[in-house]
Structure 1
Amino acid sequence: MTLVLIGLLLGSGVWFVTKVVTPVTDRVTTPAGPTGEPAFTVSLTKRQLNRIITYYLNDYQKNSQIKYTLTVADQAKLGGSFKFFNQTVDFSLLFDPLVKSNGDIELKATKLNIGQLPVPISYVLSYVGHSYKLPNWVKLNSKQETIVLELSKFKLANGMRAKATKIDLASDEIDLSVFLPSSK
């Protein structure tokens, strides 16, 4: 009887030690999403978007002598100033934003004032394109009177990209899809 008890204890001990030191074989796999599926979406208000734009432009224009702003309200407004006969002249350009099918944002110019004087939009867009330092993902088209924010070419420092999915300024809704960088 003692031998059976010792055998049971030894057998149980060997079984227990074997189970403890054997690696776990259960693997949890997460189904991969389809290629191009966003990692997450972001919904912004106009106020939140303006804070992001201001932060980005302040950083981007640190060493630039020409300063401009972009503000989103009922319309998007590009504002700034330039020197004309040694006088500072303010300008404002109003846009209606549109989300393109590829997630880029097209800003269609609707009104332009230099000081209090309304002027042709195409002329000034051409001037701005030649005189201002713009990010490489911002494209001006003076003939169509548009500015396209090519989000498809804009990449964050960590490699993430964004696409616009909805812009409804009247309802204060701006939605973006954010994509992780391609794996190496």
Structure 2
Amino acid sequence: MHQRNWKVLFISLFSLNIFIIITLFIIIFSPTPGSNALPEKEYIEDEAGAEFTVRSSKQNLTELVNQYIDKALNDKEGKYSIQLDENVQIFGSVEAFNKDIPISIEMEPIVQENGDIILKQTEMSLGLLNLPKNKILEYVAKAIDAPEWVIIDPDNEEIYIAVTQMDIKSNFKVRAQQIDLENDQISFRIKVPTATLGL
């Protein structure tokens, strides 16, 4: 009798382990969905108006970006944050396997010719899980309701930030000009459209 119960328990445990392994295999190695289409690039120079250069430090920009994240994502508990150091560091957590798992992403900012920004992934971790980098970005894309001008692209392991298409209440247009984090030299061009001035 005991031997029969032992066999049933062994088979049940073995079947459960096989099921978990197959589930993890499917989650990790299933093909990623196609990359989100990047927006058509806009150039603030195409619109009439006055342009100004604004310079910032890593500390000031970090504070501004984190305030925006708190408001845009309704992140009252400070679940997500960004730190500008040698690279852009993103901290937060995503729900995976019915648990909140801490996530850490390190990305290199690359200014595009039109002033948009690509954050190219360099280092990434999801708790203690050793997952492919594109899978981690997939979890981020599902967990965060990003604005339309932020495109998370797991296939290319990057985040495209169309700053030229940010919806700013004042109707100002913005483009990144320089992001040199190592030397703490950050600058943006701001266009004040003529129409905004009532001219």
The TM-score by the shorter chain falls in which range?
Answer: 0.7 to 0.9
Matched, 1:40 2:52: yes
| Deviation at residue 155 of structure 1 after TM alignment | 2.9
Q: 1:127 aligns with which of 133, 136, 139?
A: 139
Looking at CA atoms only, which structure, 1 or 2, has the larger radius of gyration? Answer: 1
Unaligned runs of 5+ in 1: 1-32
Distance 1:155 1:182 in 2: 17
Q: 1:112 aligns with which of 113, 117, 124?
A: 124
Q: 2:106 aligns with which of 90, 94, 100?
A: 94
Identify which range, 110-119 or 128-137, moves more after superposition: 110-119
- Whichever residue aligns with residue 104 of structure 1, its letter is D
Matched, 1:77 2:93: no
- Please give the root-mean-square deviation of Cα atoms over the aligned residues, in Å: 2.5
The answer for the alignment partner of 1:172 in structure 2 is 184
The answer for the alignment partner of 2:152 in structure 1 is 140
Distance 1:162 1:153 in 2: 8
Partner SS, residue 39 of structure 1: strand
Identity %: 26
Partner SS, residue 142 of structure 2: helix
Distance 2:129 2:50 in 1: 45
| Deviation at residue 36 of structure 1 after TM alignment | 5.4
> When the two structures are aligned, how many residues end up with a matched partner?
152
Distance 1:88 1:142 in 2: 20
| Deviation at residue 118 of structure 1 after TM alignment | 4.3
Matched, 1:150 2:162: yes
Partner SS, residue 140 of structure 1: strand
Unaligned runs of 5+ in 2: 1-44
TM-score (norm 1): 0.73
Q: 1:68 to 1:37 in 2, by over 3 A?
A: same
Higher relative contact order (CA 8 A, sep 6+): 2
- Whichever residue aligns with residue 69 of structure 1, its letter is S
The answer for the alignment partner of 2:172 in structure 1 is 160
TM-score (norm 2): 0.68
Matched, 1:50 2:62: yes
- Whichever residue aligns with residue 98 of structure 1, its letter is I
Asked if the contact 2:126–2:136 (Cα under 8 Å) also holds between the matched residues in 1, the reply is: no
